[in-house]
Chains A and B, each alone.
Chain A
Amino acid sequence: MDNKPKHIFDDPKNVKRVMHFLYASCALLFALDFVIHRHVYHSWENLWGFHAIYGFAGCVVLVIVATWMRTFLMRSEDYYDDEWNTDLDEKNTSDTGAANVDD
């Protein structure tokens, strides 16, 4: 037995428990829709489980679109770094200076 202190989520069983709690809550909340009489403010809300489905689908779309955005928006971590090197350091006169200076 190692002497490192054990933490609650070091045990995969506890992670499972959290998951099962989430699944059970979701099922219960979905079921409640059929039991509780709701005021409907909007016709879409007549749909059973409208908020549940909308929440789930919304997040999946959000993540898929955001992941797709990475294909054209992601750059390396130091993408903007030259801003505070070239323009300000007097010694370093790379592209702004050298390329354009007329001889």
Chain B
Amino acid sequence: MWMTDLPPFVLFFIGALFAALTRGRIRGFIMLAIPLFSAANLWMMPEGVHLQFAFMDYQLEPYKIDKLSLMFAYVFHIAAVISITYSLHVKDTVQQVAGMMYAGSALGAVFAGDLLTLFVFWELLALTSVFLIWARKTRRAYVVGLRYLIIQIFSGVLLLVGVLFYATEKGTLDFQYIGLDGVYGWLIFFAIGIKCAFPLLHNWLTDAYPEATPTGTVFLSAFTTKVAVYALARGYPGTELLVYIGAAMTCFPIFWAVVENDLRRVLAYSLINQVGFMVCGIGIGTALAINGAVAHAFNDVIFKGLLFMSMGAVLHMTGRINGSDLGGLYKTMPKTTVLCIIGAASISAFPLFSGFVSKSMVMAAALENGHDWVWLMLLFASAGVFHHAGIKIPYFAFFAHDSGLRASDPPTNMLIAMFIAAGLCIGIGVYPAALYSLLPYDTGYNPYDATHVLAQTQLLFFSALAFVWLNLRGMYPPELKSTHLDFDWTYRRFIPLVLRRLLAAIWKVDGVIRRSFLAKLDSGLNYLAQRHEGPSSLLSRDHPAGSMVLWVAVLLAIYLLMSFIR
């Protein structure tokens, strides 16, 4: 087979160029051929550094392959194929080019052997993906996109500063274990934390992803956060702080997900919840935990993609995405319904679906390492994720009350993309050995023992029972047209309000000072004017007739004198 040494990101960027220049079927063919060729090529590539050069005093390695990066690269290729298939019907060239560049940037980031290359792709991820949000072409999407871009670029700036500190301290740019030592460790940690949606840094995600186009969100959900997870797995494995950050990430978003109305925003919250499991696994840092984190990232890209695709299909066909507007769609969108339920079963980690074989590794590792409370939090989050993503998403979109909407299943290309994703979800769930063989470590883990299957099934069925019971009791919160405040309220409302008040106060004080100064100046001038007013004073125009007569007399006298002189 024809091979190339070109790094995958170069192939994708060439693909983006072709996507910009071609139209119609040819474009679709090229855009699909690129990731397929790149994936086949990558399959043949041995591990090691395939591209390096010196830059100033440092060695740059833009194309370095090892087991960890390969794992992410494979799933990014799968995500690219799925997302491109899903968006084949889109005629907007900007979206096609942006999607291609975005996928390429993600691949560039995971193969970056040095931190400077990582930084370049880190920023490219932000710059390319924002067009998928702006492509929605609403005023809201424009503002949201700006906010997204500012936060992502800020993350990049933090990373760059951290990298500069790192380079001066270590004398190398090699992307290896970093750890929380020194300033550089924390700076890079926060930079990754922003992209990873750590608690309180997470709102760019729930803000931006639901505002992108139906196809754009599928791209977005796959790459940015997973690149961040990859960077954490390489730079910060075994950092204990991550265990608690991860546990918090699994738990807090589910409360918002339960009450949120926009179903794609529900999925955005549940994305944070899933990333929490990965972060937690990286924090635990044992072979089993890292395997679990990486495997879960792999599966999450596919099942979260599937869920975003099914909701994208609903949005594409009905023009609505709020739970309060939807319902009863199973009648006319049966295929989408089934595909969505497969995604929901996977994210909920039902036995025989993909989530089950990866999430359990993280939880088993949490127990093995004595993180009992963390394990309880993860268990609670597992029940919660079934509740909001597993039941709520399909229930409110496709069942619940009949909204009267009669949309048909989406275009064939969208269905095919969802079929591929659903097939992978079930395939990995039924035959996890294939996935396990790609993992960085060999742990001999088997998810299908009676204890684990029974425990997980009990957890899920009784969560479903709770949903039914709460609904029958009328205690389940109805879907309401509403906004729920989250931490972004601080920078969208509170800080602007404080600044506005502060500036208003400053302006007021400034006004008082100016006015009193003007008043002083005024009264000074008045005083001067008063002193010099009155007939024949300095500032007066009025002069008495007597003085005129006197001056006329003086002038005449001068004439007289001058006539004598001649």
Contact = CB atoms under 8 A, between A and B. Distances in A.
A1 interface: no
Nearest to B457: A29
B467 interface: yes
A42 B485 contact: no
Given A42-B367, A69-B259, A84-B139, A56 B462 contact: yes
Contacts of A81: 140
A74 B458 CA distance: 33
B465 A77 contact: no
A42 B372 contact: yes
Contacts of B458: 29-30, 33, 49, 51-52, 55
A62 B387 contact: yes
How large, as a class, is the contact surface on chain B?
35 or more
A59 B364 contact: no
Contacts of B384: 58-59, 62
A2 to B, nearest CB: 14
B331 A7 contact: yes
A29 B483 contact: no
Interface in B355-370: 364, 367
A91 interface: no
Interface string A61-103: 0111111011001111111110111001000000110011010
Contact of B504 (A44, A54, A59, A100): A100
B235 to A, nearest CB: 30
Given A54-B383, A63-B476, A95-B500, A80 B483 contact: yes
A32 B504 contact: no
Contacts of B376: 44
Contact of A53 (B142, B449, B462, B469): B462
B511 interface: yes
Interface residues of A, number: 57
B340 to A, nearest CB: 16
B259 A38 contact: no
A56 B259 CA distance: 18
A4 to B, nearest CB: 10
Q: Which of A38, A66, A85 has the most B CB atoms < 10 Å from its CB? A: A66
B484 A99 contact: no
Contacts of B457: 29
A22 B461 contact: yes
Contacts of B143: 83-84, 88
A85 B138 CA distance: 12
Contacts, number: 166
Interface in B457-478: 457-470, 475-477
B461 A26 contact: yes
B481 interface: yes
B454 A99 contact: no
A36 B450 contact: yes
Contacts of A38: 450-451, 454-455
Interface in B58-90: none
B105 to A, nearest CB: 28
Nearest to A56: B462
Given A42-B375, A58-B380, A80 B477 contact: no
Nearest to A61: B380
A39 to B, nearest CB: 5
Q: Which of B259, B367, B465, B469 has the most A CB atoms < 10 Å from its CB? A: B465
A59 B484 contact: no
Contact of B459 (A7, A36, A54): A54
Contacts of A63: 258, 387, 466, 470, 475-477
Given A54-B383, A62-B258, A63-B475, A84 B140 contact: yes
A36 to B, nearest CB: 6
B566 interface: no
Contact of B462 (A55, A70, A80, A83): A55
Contact of A66 (B255, B451, B454, B500): B255
A77 B504 contact: no
B510 interface: yes
B330 A75 contact: no
Contacts of B541: none
Nearest to B372: A42
Contacts of B459: 51-52, 54-55
A77 B481 contact: yes
A83 B486 CA distance: 16
Contacts of A51: 379, 454-456, 458-459, 462
B52 interface: no
B256 to A, nearest CB: 8
Contacts of B258: 62-63, 66
B4 interface: no
A41 B255 contact: no
Nearest to B484: A73
Interface string B235-256: 0000000000000000000111
A32 B453 CA distance: 12
Contact of B259 (A33, A53, A66, A79): A66
Interface string A11-41: 0000000010011011001101100101101
6 contacts: A29-B454, A49-B458, A51-B462, A59-B387, A84-B140, A100-B500
Interface of B: 139-140, 142-143, 254-256, 258-259, 330-331, 364, 367, 372, 375-376, 379-380, 383-384, 387, 399, 449-451, 454-470, 475-477, 480-486, 492-493, 500, 503-504, 507, 510-511, 514
User: When A and B form their complex, which 6 residue pairs have the shortest distance between CB atoms, in order from nearest?
Assistant: A59-B466, A55-B462, A66-B258, A55-B459, A51-B458, A56-B462
